[in-house]
Amino acid sequence: MMVAGIGLALLAIGVGLAAERSNHPSSPPVVRNTPLSVSCPTSTFCMAVDDHGNSISFDGTSWSTPRSSDLHAINSVSCPSSRFCAAVDIVGDAVTFNGARWSAPRQVDKMSANQVAAFGHNGLTSVSCPNSGFCVAVGIDGFASRFDGANWSNATSVEPRSVYVKQAFGIPGIAAVSCSDPSFCVAVTDLGAAVSYNGHSWDSQGSMWPQRHAVTHAPLVSKANKHGYGAMNAISCPTMKFCVAVDPFGNVYMFNGVLWSSPDPVDTPSAHGGDGAGLTAVSCPSASFCVAVDGRGQAITYRRSRWSAPRTADSTLGLRSVSCSSATFCVALDDLGRALTYDGRSWTAPLTIEP
């Protein structure tokens, strides 16, 4: 997420245009490509993808020049190693990287193409690959597809549309997915559901907004807000017994292998300041360390079983994506796609990685 969609991309472009006009009033406007998602399996390899179908890699020292990877905006990328990545886009296509080059786009979920939910999520929203032989991609239409190392499966329904009949927004949007291995994935939805995969099937049973349920019964883990609906922005599951999910209202939810916690309001002001997106992304390389980022440019860390207070990482823009390979290395992207790195103590200044 992490996790960003067309709405945030357009916002970022608008901010970029405004900055260009302010600094160079006599120059023609410049529309910058905006990296939307990043994945870092190690401190010497990261892959970022942007809203124009490009990828930019990091070698531990510097970022590469952009290379075309897809014909459309890429929403999400997942790299279990420097030799394999998968990325998904707004028209339901997926591409894979073998360490040297990207594959041609393959249509995975046609029904998700260009659909946009009220929370800005669109197309294929998220992909998670615990290894090169297994990935799961999820979309705004409530479907998921699996990759077996060679081919993508047909998209299958994860959340029944009947769950959303009474909702004004009507789209069973899956916001994000995280897989610790091929036998355990959890997807979270725009209406606050957490739905699990056991290696064979998705469990989509559940009722609206219970706060403590076994994950095998698809808990709806997000607390309903004042408008009467929940939401989730991102999830990270480093093991089968530990997951963290975050929502637009500044809450975190933690899974211990059996139950989800009640919402913990670790960053409530993020829902009302900055871009108002609340907690936008989370990355947990292990069960003892996580970083979550918000729409106010702040990051919070999870260590020794507690969350820190929000700390400013980017003083000018919100953060949209984060990926940590360890407790001493993370990369985050802000709303203009600039990259910030974390060494376990502090964040660097934002760096423009794509012209």
Token code pair at residue 103: 């594959």
Kindly report the pTM of this predicted structure. 0.85
Quote the CA–CA distance of 37 and 77 in Å, as a whole number.
6
Res 230: pLDDT:
59
348 in a domain, yes or no? Answer: no
Q: Is residue 347 part of a domain?
A: no
Q: Does residue 352 belong to any structural domain of this protein?
A: no
215 assigned to some structural domain: yes
Token pair of 13, please?
């472009």
Q: Using an 8 Å Cβ cutoff, are 234 and 281 in contact?
A: yes
Domain that holds residue 252: 6-342
Residue 166 domain-assigned (yes or no): yes
Instruction: List the chain pLDDT tens, one digit each, 355 residues.
Output: 343 333 333 333 333 323 332 333 333 334 468 999 999 999 999 999 999 999 999 999 999 999 999 889 999 999 999 999 999 999 999 999 999 999 999 999 988 887 776 556 678 999 999 999 999 999 988 899 999 999 999 998 886 555 444 444 455 578 899 999 999 999 988 778 788 899 998 875 332 233 333 333 334 344 444 433 457 899 999 999 999 999 999 999 999 988 888 889 999 999 887 777 899 999 999 999 999 999 999 999 999 999 999 999 999 999 999 999 999 999 999 999 999 999 999 999 999 999 8
| Closest C-alpha to 218, from 231, 207, 228, 226 | 207
Round to whole Å and give the CA distance between 268 and 170.
27
What is the CATH number for 160?
2.130.10.10
Dihedral sign for Cα 203, 161, 106, 119, please: negative
7 phi/psi in degrees, rounded to 5: -60, -45
Report yes or no on 102 lying in a domain: yes
Q: How many domains does the chain have?
A: 1
152, 94 in Cβ contact below 8 A?
Answer: yes
- Would residue 353 count as lying in a domain? no
**Strand-pair category, 319-326 with 329-334:** antiparallel
The 174-181 sheet, strands edge to edge: 174-181, 184-189, 194-197, 202-203
Q: By C-alpha distance, which of 262, 228, 234, 227 is closest to 248?
A: 234
Whether 1 is in a domain gets the answer: no
pLDDT at position 117, please? 65
